[in-house]
Structure 1
Amino acid sequence: MESAVRIQEFDDPNYDPFNSDEINFGDHADPYPLIARWRAEAPVIEGGYRPLMGLPAALYPDRKMFTVVGSREVNEVLTDTDRFSNAGYKFNLGVTFGQGSISTMDNPEHGRWRRIFQKIFLPQYVKKWGETIVDPVVHGLMGKFLPLGRADLIEQFTLRYPFEVIYHQLDLPEEDVRTFQRLALGQTDYVNHEKAIEAGRKLGDYFTALVEERRRDPGDDLVSLLASTEADGEYLPHEVLISFLRQLMNAAGDTTYRGTSILLTALLEHPDQMEAIRADRGLIPQAIEEALRWDGPVAVQMRMAAVDTELAGVAIPAGSLLDVVAGAANRDPEIYSDPDRFDIFRDRKPHFAFSRGPHICVGQHLARVEMTRALHAVLDHLPGLRFDPDEPRPRIQGSMMRVPRHLHVRFGD
Structure 2
Amino acid sequence: MLDEIAQLDPAMIRTLFDTSGQFRRSRSGGDYVENFHTDLRLARESGPVHVGSVEEVLGAVDPEHPLPYPEPVYSAFSFDTVNTVFRDPETYTSDAMRGTFDTFGRNILAMGGAEHARYRAVAQPVFARNMTQWWIDRWIAGITDSLLTRFERRGRADLNLEFCALLPLLTITGSFGVPMDEALRLREHIEQMISAGTERADRLAASAAAADILLPVIARRRGDPRDDLISKLISESVVDEHGTRHALTDDDVLAYARLLLTAGSGTTWRQLGITLWALLNNPDQLDAVRRDRSLVRAAVEESLRWEVTDPTFFRLTAHDTTLGGVDIPAGSRVALCLTAANHDPSRWPDPDRFDIFRRVKPHLSFASGPHVCLGMHVARAEMSVALNAILDRLPDLRWDPDAPRPVLMGLHMRAPSDLPVVFG
Using structure 2 for the length normalisation, give the TM-score: 0.89
Aligned to 2:25: 22
User: Would you say the 8 A contact 1:63–1:319 is kept in 2?
Assistant: yes
* Structure 1 CA distance for aligned equivalents of residues 329 and 387 of structure 2: 46
Aligned to 1:5: none
* Structure 2 CA distance for aligned equivalents of residues 364 and 115 of structure 1: 15
Aligned to 1:357: 369
User: Would you say the 8 A contact 1:17–1:189 is kept in 2?
Assistant: no
Deviations 1:337-389 (A, max 9, x none): 00000000001111000001000001001000000110011011100101000
Aligned to 2:87: 79
User: Would you say the 8 A contact 1:39–1:70 is kept in 2?
Assistant: yes
* Structure 2 CA distance for aligned equivalents of residues 382 and 17 of structure 1: 25
Deviations 1:250-291 (A, max 9, x none): 212210001100001111111111111111111111110000
* Structure 2 CA distance for aligned equivalents of residues 51 and 173 of structure 1: 43
Distance apart, 1:318 and its partner CA: 1.3
Aligned to 1:366: 378
Aligned to 1:9: none
* Structure 1 CA distance for aligned equivalents of residues 75 and 311 of structure 2: 12
Deviations 1:174-200 (A, max 9, x none): 211211121222221121234433322
Q: What letter matches 1:64 in structure 2?
A: P
- 1:387 maps onto 2:392 in alignment: no
* Structure 1 CA distance for aligned equivalents of residues 342 and 199 of structure 2: 31
Q: What letter matches 1:202 in structure 2?
A: A
Aligned to 1:335: 347
Matches within 5 A, 1:45-124: 45-52=50-57, 53-55=60-62, 56-58=65-67, 60=69, 62-91=70-99, 93-98=100-105, 100-124=106-130
- 1:35 maps onto 2:40 in alignment: yes
User: Would you say the 8 A contact 2:400–2:420 is kept in 1?
Assistant: yes
* Structure 1 CA distance for aligned equivalents of residues 252 and 51 of structure 2: 34
User: Would you say the 8 A contact 2:103–2:193 is kept in 1?
Assistant: yes
Distance apart, 1:41 and its partner CA: 1.3
* Structure 1 CA distance for aligned equivalents of residues 221 and 158 of structure 2: 37
Matches within 5 A, 1:180-329: 180-194=186-200, 195-230=202-237, 233-329=245-341
Deviations 1:117-173 (A, max 9, x none): 111112232212212311111111111111210001001110111101112212232
* Structure 1 CA distance for aligned equivalents of residues 170 and 351 of structure 2: 34
* Structure 1 CA distance for aligned equivalents of residues 182 and 278 of structure 2: 32
Distance 1:288 1:367, change over 3 A: same
* Structure 2 CA distance for aligned equivalents of residues 228 and 68 of structure 1: 40
* Structure 2 CA distance for aligned equivalents of residues 17 and 193 of structure 1: 18
Where in structure 2 are there 5+ consecutive unaligned residues?
1-11, 240-244
User: Would you say the 8 A contact 2:186–2:213 is kept in 1?
Assistant: no
Aligned to 1:8: none
* Structure 1 CA distance for aligned equivalents of residues 333 and 209 of structure 2: 29
User: Would you say the 8 A contact 1:67–1:324 is kept in 2?
Assistant: yes
**SS at the partner of 1:103?**
coil
Distance apart, 1:51 and its partner CA: 4.1
Q: What letter matches 2:163 in structure 1?
A: F
* Structure 1 CA distance for aligned equivalents of residues 251 and 180 of structure 2: 26
* Structure 2 CA distance for aligned equivalents of residues 239 and 132 of structure 1: 26
User: Would you say the 8 A contact 2:321–2:327 is kept in 1?
Assistant: yes
Deviations 1:286-315 (A, max 9, x none): 110000000011100110101121212322
Distance 1:397 1:128, change over 3 A: same
Instruction: Note the aligned Cα RMSD (angstroms).
Output: 1.9
**SS at the partner of 1:127?**
helix
Distance 1:67 1:332, change over 3 A: same
Aligned to 1:4: none
Q: What letter matches 1:213 in structure 2?
A: R
Distance apart, 1:40 and its partner CA: 1.2
Q: What letter matches 2:213 in structure 1?
A: Y
Using structure 1 for the length normalisation, give the TM-score: 0.91
* Ranges of 4+ aligned residues in structure 1 off by more than 6 Å: none
* Structure 2 CA distance for aligned equivalents of residues 83 and 285 of structure 1: 34
**SS at the partner of 2:25?**
helix
**SS at the partner of 2:194?**
coil
Comparing 304-313 with 259-268, greater Cα deviation is found at 304-313
User: Would you say the 8 A contact 1:68–1:325 is kept in 2?
Assistant: yes
